[in-house]
Chain A
Amino acid sequence: MPVLFIPGNAGSYKQVRSLASESAVHFQNVLQSDTNALDVGKRSLDWFTVDFNEDLAAFHGQTLLDQAEYLNEVIGYILQLYHNSHQSRRDSSLPDPTSVILVGHSMGGIVARTMLTLSNYQPDTVNTIMTLAAPHSRPPVSFDAEVLHTYKRINDYWRNAYLEKLPGANPLSEVTLVSIAGGGLDTVVPSDYATLASLVPAKNGFTVFTSTIPHVWTGMDHLAMVWCDQLRKSVVRSLYDVIDARRPPQTKSRTERMSSFRKWLLSGLEDTKRKRPAQVEPRILLTLKQSSNDFLPVGERLVLKELGARGRAMAYLLPVPPNDSLDRKRLTILSDQGQADGAEQLDVMFCSVIPSQQLSSSFSINIDISGGNTASSRLACRSAADDMIALPASTNSTQHPFDGVQPFSYLQVDLEELVEYQFVAILDKAVDARSGWVLAEFASISESKIDTSKTLSSMITSGIDVITGPDHPMMMEITISSLQSSLLAYELTIDTPSCDEPELFAPLVRQYISDPHESKFFVNARGVEVSMHGVAPYLPPPLEGNAGTNGLGLQIWSSPTCNSPMHISLTVDIPGSMGKLWMRYRTAFAAFPLLIVALVLRKQFKTYDDSGKLSIHCI
């Protein structure tokens, strides 16, 4: 089904090849032979691209409009290709496509949005747009008044559509727009401008930085957005997740698309209220040997330092504590075992005791590790695998989150969502001893938070310096609401002075802001440089909510086997912050030569006035 790639300012049509290649390879290797996938409408993506002859869309407003007008006509042509039976090998039981997915790089993303505002746009021919390093909020260079005027027209149209100020129904109500930004490494287009906060509400789109995306976990420069291998894999998989050839628009409904994009492109730790299915029926029957060793006391932390130690599959059960609204708790499970298909040695389930009369046939999966013992416990469980997320592996030898070491698995669930279960079961399926570890605990949310309400000025002068207690939760978090600006950079240091036992893993830090979705992960974190794309100069105000009011958040995972206080300090790095001024104010430097010429002229006029000569020493 059709996808149209739109190159950017002075871009080439060939830039589509990395993405299109990954798409073809992924379909052939994974989806083509997966009957479940084919049944739900997964088909190969056809990547179209356009040659603009390296036109400068960023510098000339009319070029932007011309390209958008051309592309609306391209869409019409592409759609009729699929009607044409000798042009397509289409399966005649599937409906003809009525819309095309757009992927735009840099100014191509702006052209994509422009297409929907023009008079030659055929309604509903575009419902999914993904942009790579596209400056949505502001033009990246503002030397042409026409570019500014065009931008204003396009952005006003989009804003007014979502604010329901356009006559008639909102033509953009079913459109999903995802903006991916490269971060500080993108020195061509300021990543601050990639934000959709002022244009599109959260139910129709979001902005995410590549450092947030699982298995990418790195920033990248402007051109790398199209050829980065890790990013192309995530982009292609997210696109395959949203398509459905059985429907004429070729994609799933808007809410399903949004949740697919969030699953593939966000870290999983965002504060979004996930619409969990109300009652997920337990499908797993877990039968255990009735032994008190497997049941942990309430409030105790599970620490497994190796797997398969007992020579057989073992289930460890954490009782779910009572829900106390004054001392809210949260379940956190961290393991170095990955979630890769087929290699799972670990299963996490939420279980409840079942009445003994219930038939075992009502469960679809039966896990029996009781060894045939008649005195066994039976639990009705549901798998938590869908809720587990990947975190970059952090050991004493890892340097960057993208080092390629198998990622950790992490689960974080508030106690309120587990009230209907009595146990959390962690199943170690290894039958021979192997290296690996699992940590699981119910931690008090208030104990996990480090309270700071520092103002910006006191941050600049003194910073933050905290020492946690010795028995602190595995995951600690700090939120500093006064740190919102893109113009400041910080240094974070984490010190665990004395460790009782060797750490299972090195400290892992996640630095995050909520809108845009920018998270940066730091592995083996002892001294870390923190900077973010929050509130930035010249950005228009957001469509809904307030920009950056949550401020900077830090999540710190540390090995609890250390059992020693953790010393955390965060200070403003003034010399480092100076560098942040360049991308946000660089056009001011273009005015500098003009200033110098004006000053020299003034001096010459003054001298001439004083002495009748242009200069004294006429050489």
Chain B
Amino acid sequence: MKTRSQASPAQEESAETTQTSARTNGNMKESRRRKSREIGALEGEDGSFRDTSEEEALAVEDGRTRRAWDVIEKETTEWDKKQKETHSALDDAINPAFTKHTKHGRPQPKRRRSPWGTSALILLVTAFAAIISFSIVQAFLSRQKDPDGCRMSYMRAGFVAFPDFDTEHTRFASKYSLYLYKEIGIDDDTRVCR
């Protein structure tokens, strides 16, 4: 189980800027990757994601690092507060990690990847599968249908039972039984006929 980073926002911030200023090639990538894993990606309002490395790059270009982090931090703190108020008991029960987090009262910025996020590929495959399934069902129900021309049949049904076909003859006599059909009006003799 991964340990939750307990650093304060301010501390993380400074660590972040330290990271961005260190510009060795391989180092950069690795440190970004590690950071992303610990904190997770940023979730936008529209459900899209931004990796922390991307965020760093942008911050470097615009010089908006501090401002960006401030906004996010404020939002997530408010959100965390609400969470805690309404669902603290349930959260304690379900997720010990979360409980551990709230015990220390330091909400985490929501920079993790949301599990409900989907890539374009998954959406495409799902859409394709849905279209194919729909077309199969629609075609089965309404296309290339054979016409049905059966006329209803009518009869006067009568059945003769055979109570003496019992367990002496077969071990299934208690479960299954035998009958003889008799057309009422024609076969009125209960004996078997030739």
Which A residues are closer than 8 A to B by beta carbons?
Answer: 1-2, 13-14, 16-18, 20-22, 24-25, 28, 43-44, 46-53, 66-67, 69-70, 73-74, 76-78, 81-82, 86-91, 94, 183-185, 211, 217-221, 224, 227-232, 245, 400-403, 489, 520, 529, 531, 573, 575-583, 603-604, 606-607, 610-616, 618-619
Contacts and interface: CB of A to CB of B under 8 A. Distances in A.
| Main SS class of interface, B | loop
A530 to B, nearest CB: 8
Given A50-B177, A576-B139, A612-B1, 12 more contacts: A13-B159, A53-B176, A73-B172, A78-B178, A87-B192, A90-B192, A218-B146, A219-B148, A578-B138, A578-B140, A582-B137, A618-B95
Given A17-B155, A582-B136, A24 B186 contact: yes
Contacts of B159: 13-14, 49
B181 interface: yes
Contacts of A90: 192-194
Contacts of A17: 155, 157, 181
Contacts of B191: 86-89
Given A22-B153, A46-B193, A229-B151, A573 B144 contact: yes
A2 B141 CA distance: 41
Given A18-B155, A613-B97, A230 B194 contact: no
A612 B176 contact: no
A47 B180 contact: yes
Contacts of B169: 73, 76-77
A526 to B, nearest CB: 15
A77 B178 contact: yes
A603 to B, nearest CB: 6
Q: Which 7 pairs across A and B sit closest by C-beta, in order of nearness?
A: A579-B139, A21-B155, A402-B149, A218-B149, A579-B140, A24-B183, A228-B150
B179 A50 contact: yes
B4 interface: yes
Interface string B127-159: 000001001111111111111111111111101
A229 B91 contact: no
A606 B117 CA distance: 13
B2 interface: yes
B69 interface: no
B34 interface: no
Contact of A616 (B115, B137, B143): B115
Interface in B83-110: 83, 87, 90-91, 94-95, 97-98, 110
B127 to A, nearest CB: 16
A613 B95 contact: yes
Q: Which of B142, B162, B191 has the most chain A CB atoms inside 10 A of its CB?
A: B191
A51 B179 contact: yes
A612 B39 CA distance: 11
B175 interface: yes
A584 B179 CA distance: 36
B194 A20 contact: no
Contact of B153 (A48, A227, A577): A227
Contacts of B176: 50-53, 67, 70
Contact of A81 (B91, B98, B183, B192): B192
A604 B114 CA distance: 11
A531 B147 CA distance: 12
B187 interface: yes
Contacts of B140: 578-583
A25 to B, nearest CB: 7
B45 interface: no
Contacts of B136: 578-579, 581-582
B112 interface: yes
A517 to B, nearest CB: 16
Given A50-B176, A70-B172, A582-B140, A184 B146 contact: yes
A611 B186 contact: no
Q: Which of B40, B170, B189 has the most chain A CB atoms inside 10 A of its CB?
A: B170
A81 B113 CA distance: 79
Given A53-B175, A578-B139, A604-B115, A217 B149 contact: yes
